[in-house]
Amino acid sequence: MQLVFNRQVAEDLRNKYTVLELETVVLPDERKLEVFCVLPAESIIWEMQAMEDSVSLHEQFIDAIRNNDTEACMELSEQLKGRFGGELDSFYDTVVARCKETGSTVLTTLSN
């Protein structure tokens, strides 16, 4: 899986690849860094029939992060684990761990 840190590049890549939004990180200087992933075709080839449903669930997960909805994140992560060839499982685990440890979906950096 490759990471992309630019929305326009991510949008351009969507013409050829499956690109999913991950998180928006607020940097110490208050700039926002949007993070996307490009999924390798070999990881998702066997899931193409269910891809629309998987992408929709992932988008709901991202909305839950934005809305600081820890319960939705934890519930959706259970449905998402194993999808996308398992490529995003560690991302889902990290967000769920954050929800449990901090009671929030917000990613805090050392300066926050």
Quote the percentage of the chain above a pLDDT of 90: 65
What does the domain layout of the chain look like in residue ranges?
Answer: 2-102
Look at residue 49 and tell me whether its pLDDT is greater than 60: yes
pLDDT tens-digit profile of 14-42?
Answer: 988 899 999 998 888 888 899 999 988 87
What mean pLDDT is reported for the chain?
A: 90
Q: What is the pTM of this model?
A: 0.87
Q: How many CB atoms lie under 10 A from the CB of residue 66?
A: 13
Per-residue pLDDT band for 111 (boundaries 50, 70, 90) equals: low
The predicted structure's pLDDT at residue 110? 55
The span from the CA of 11 to the CA of 67, in Å, is 23
Q: How far is CA 99 from CA 12, 58, 62, 65, in A?
A: 32, 17, 13, 10
